[in-house]
Structure 1
Amino acid sequence: MLTTSRGISLVLAFAISVLTVAFLSLTKDATPMLLTVSWGLTMAISYLLTNITLEFLIFKEISNIYTALEKIQKKDLNSIAEKPKKTSISPLRKINSTINSYAIAKNKEIETLQKNAAFRREFIADISHELKTPIFAAQGYVHTLLDGAVDDVNVRDKFLKRAAKSLNALDHLVQDLLTLNQMESGVVKFNFEVFNMVRLLEEVMEDLEHKAEKRNITLKLNFNPEKNYLARGDRDKIYRVCQNLISNAIKYNHEGGEAEVSIKSSKNNLIIDIKDNGLGIPPEDIKRIFERFYRVDKSRSREMGGTGLGLAIVKHILEGHKSKISVSSTLGKGSMFSFSLIAEKHPDTQKK
């Protein structure tokens, strides 16, 4: 009984009323009726006040704390929501609020660690597979030559070229990994300068012209020749961004398709759009295409070449330019990648 608020209130009220009656009995005017009424009133008032105080300021908050601890043990933290803090005279409510906040913070921390662990496992699995493919291919060609095929000149040359191609792919993968790691760790420095964006795009498209001709892809560059398209940024890295995006527009296009590059100028920025009318990207994959090694169609992507790191590098380069890349796509109709750069307003600046 003494473990409940009512039991404790009753004992305290009885003790207070007895002390009150004992004190009043020492006065000369005390009568039995007065003492009885005083005892009753003191008993009732003390009981009510003590019970309300214990119930709402102590026992209720203790019950909430136990409930919160049970939910934490059961890992049922979704129902523990951070509510706006209200002023309260109960220190237990503050303790309860602190426990809830701590549990929510730790739960978020645990979720972050679990996501990082899952990412590491996925990354290790992806990189193991990406490294294994060119290594096993080169290893197979070399072992075939060692088993006697080296005596046949035609077979030897063909297998050596294929082994070299596989090793080149391995080298590109390692270089891309190093580049991405350096960018993420902030080791890579950006050399900002003013350059002519149209000239850069023309160089990239000229470099990829042979690749486009192989698949009968038409390359187009749209811009207003009466305007100056001067940009401020790291020219070499922006060259790599454009090279990767236009190369993808060729690679993932239909035979005989079209890759269109447009450059527009706004008040403070240059906007570059790379559009193709090729395969398109499923909506569920758009959010993940900038992750390392993520491929929309893994088997087809590997047949077409590439390390699976190009778009991740593009994203980091543009973030270094305080810019973001956006993508819109319709499955079977094509995709468009867009990004912006700071425009240089002074046409007298040296154009590169």
Structure 2
Amino acid sequence: MKSVPKLIKRFVGILLLSSFLILFFNFIAVAVIGYNQTSIGSPWTIAEETSKGLSQRDNGYTLSEEVNLNLKDIGIWAILIDNDTGKVIWHTDNLPEEIPLEYSISDIATLTRGYVKAYPTFTSDYNDNLIVLGFPKTSYWKHMYNSWDYNLIANFPKIALGVILGNILVIFLIYMVANTKLLKSVNPILKAIEELPNEKDVHIKEKGVLSEIATYINSTSDILQTKNSQLKKKETARANWIAGVSHDIRTPLSMVMGYAGQLEEAEHLCEDERQKASLIRKQSQRMKNLINDLNLASKLEYNMQPVNFEKVNAIALIRQVVVDFINSDIQDKYPIEWNTEENLICCNINCDASLIKRAVTNLIQNSQNHNLKGCEIFVEVKQVNNQCIISIDDNGIGIDDEKLKKIKNTPHYMVCDNNVTHQQHGLGLLIVKQIVSSHNGSVEFNHSSFGGFSTVITLPLSE
């Protein structure tokens, strides 16, 4: 399934983004902390500035006003230790009483890297003497016995990069372990969702972090299966009812047509009575045709009509239908013009010949039924690329835009459960649509260039 790799890519992407954001956040945090730590300046720099601000005069040593104020603001005291005697020869006014005024070499070695009476100290030189600055007790923490391996410092960039990559690997492992169960739960759910549109019975285990979703999918599958079962029963019942009615009505309808035909030819009846008998016979024939159409439409709708495909020359097949109509039109009320090019003698398609003949017959009959005063009918078969195009046009009364829109967009009552009292077109056109659809073709209804109604059937050519 394509969704699983996408999901894994999404997880990995989120992981990498999370790692980058963590590193970026740590970098910002270190920068902010470092900035706050050095907001008063480096203690060694302050010691050097103190050394520069100290001057010797006849009456002793004097510290510049600027440096003196800076030290007092921070809370720093300062002393100057004589290099020869180890005694304090100068100090600031804020020197704590507990600070010694004399230091040995050992004391000086200790204070340069540590503390004096818990005050962190930093030093600078002044004319071969030693300046010592004492910072507030809680201002700095000094490592008195720190030492670093040279190779550690030399290889620090590589070590730092290795630690970062190790952190990313640990985060990745934690992330994958934490989401393994989620991925295992997602895969069957995705497969189940993929199967639902195919109307397959789906049931997945309702456990794991996505158990609630699995429950809903199983419930949905059960509902769909129940509805599909009910729908199939309903369709089967409707198809059986139509087939039963069609069968049961044939015998009485044949009797009505037979007796009406006898009365139509009875010489002892007057002309008016024979015309009435003729009307009964014609309307009975129309009812018979409607019943046959209804039965065929029902079979096509529920895939009960077998479709026997064979390689057929569409030109010969359609020409035969046209010839049959011409021969039956004794009054020449509906002349048919064959507009197929003479040099096109073969256009092979895979089809059920009887069904294609039925579709074309319905279309020609449709033109006759809607033009009682007569019209010309134009039939054309042509080959365009890998398609066979069958066109049936007439120059009759045609159809307005509103009715044409309904024919194109409004479903027939045979395939729609609502608005069954508002049939938008007859069974003839529905059967044409069903037959063409069963042959993987398409049909289009439109206004004709001859002024009437037009139907274009497109069917794939035989390979």
**Normalised TM-score (structure 1):** 0.49
Greater Cα radius of gyration, structure 1 or 2: 2
Higher relative contact order (Cα pairs below 8 Å, separated by 6+ residues): 1
